[in-house]
Every structure is written in structure tokens, then in C-alpha cells.
Amino acid sequence: MKGYFGVGVDGISKPMNLGNLVRISHAFDASFFFSIAPRLKLSDAASDTSRAQGQLPFYSFPSAADFRLPLGCRLVGVEITDDAVELPRFRHPLRAAYVFGAERFSLSPEVLAACEFVVKIPTRFSINVGMAGAIVLYDRLVSLGSFGPRPMMPGGAEEVPPPHSWGAPLARPRGK
């Protein structure tokens, strides 16, 4: 899998939620983390026990009007809207930035308008932003990763693929 992804939040106000999402982003090997109109600082996020702040770039934008992404990076909003694509039916862009809304609020209208895609997790009600981040990033990993199809029968695959290496290129079948 080539490409990269970043993770960000719009207007987050709870330090535990910010720390959890930053830690999850770090665990799934995000290329960068960003915040738009934050109500707190990354240093307030004590729940980031992975200490991601020193491991991946962090960008803070005072408002949606100031927000910028690398050229070719596509913004994916994670939000419950009528026209959002359900996550299992979504094809992740190779170069993407996923943005999550603040607690008790949705993505701001300005950020939502900037999103090229909007996806929703098919749950009965809204879930914690850290949990939502883990689900979206896991879905990206499984759908774009080198794991191959799932086995037809319950249990593990008969032929175990080599261990996944985050930085290594994907193995290609012989003769290709």
C-alpha cells in the first residue's frame, strides 16, 4: 500500500478524547495529526501514553478558513449525516486526512463543506471520538493493507501471510 493518511479533530474540547485519538492515530501509523479550532492544547492530552507528540507532526489551525492539507490529500469527514457513505461501503483514498467532530457537536459547517467525502460508522447512535477513530483506521488498514481476503471458514487462514511491516513495501506475487 502506498500513500499516507492523517487524522484530525474539529473543535475538540476534552483532553482524554484528544489523547485517545492521538494515541490511536500513532498506533495505526498516521503520517500527521491536526486540529481545527481546538479548545485545548495537545500537551493537555495526558491519555496519549504513546507520547505521539514527539513522534508524528502535529498541526494546529485556528479556524476552518486557515486549514490546509498537502496537495493531493483528500479530506474525509467522519460524521452522521443523511448523505454519508456507510464505512463498510467506502473505498479509502490512498492519500487521505480523516477529520472527526468534537464531543456533543458535529463537524462545523465549514469543515463539513470542505470534505470531499463523508462517511459514517453504521451504529445505532454516536460513539466516542477515540473509538470512532479506531474503527475508521482499522477499516483503512484492512481494506488497503496486505492481508488478503478473509478465509471462507471460521478461524485463521490456512496459509499465514508474512508479518505486516509498517514501512516495508507490499510483497507482490511472483512473475508480476
Residue reference for cell 458535529: 106
pTM of the full predicted structure?
0.83
Q: What is the pLDDT of residue 52?
A: 57
Spell out the domain ranges in the chain.
4-144
pLDDT tens, the chain, 176 aa long: 579 999 999 987 777 788 888 889 989 999 999 999 876 656 665 555 555 567 788 899 999 999 999 999 999 999 999 999 999 999 999 999 999 997 667 899 999 999 999 999 999 888 888 899 999 999 999 999 777 777 888 887 666 555 554 444 444 443 44
Q: What is the pLDDT of residue 176?
A: 42
HSE, CB side, 13 Å, CA atoms: give it for residue 44. 11
Q: What is the pLDDT of residue 102?
A: 78
What CATH number matches the domain at 4-144, 1.10.3720.10, 3.90.1150.10, 3.40.50.10440, 3.40.1280.10? 3.40.1280.10
Selection from 19, 24, 54 nearest residue 40 by Cα: 19
**E strands within the chain?**
4-10, 32-36, 58-61, 74-78, 85-86, 95-101, 117-120
3-state secondary structure of 96: strand
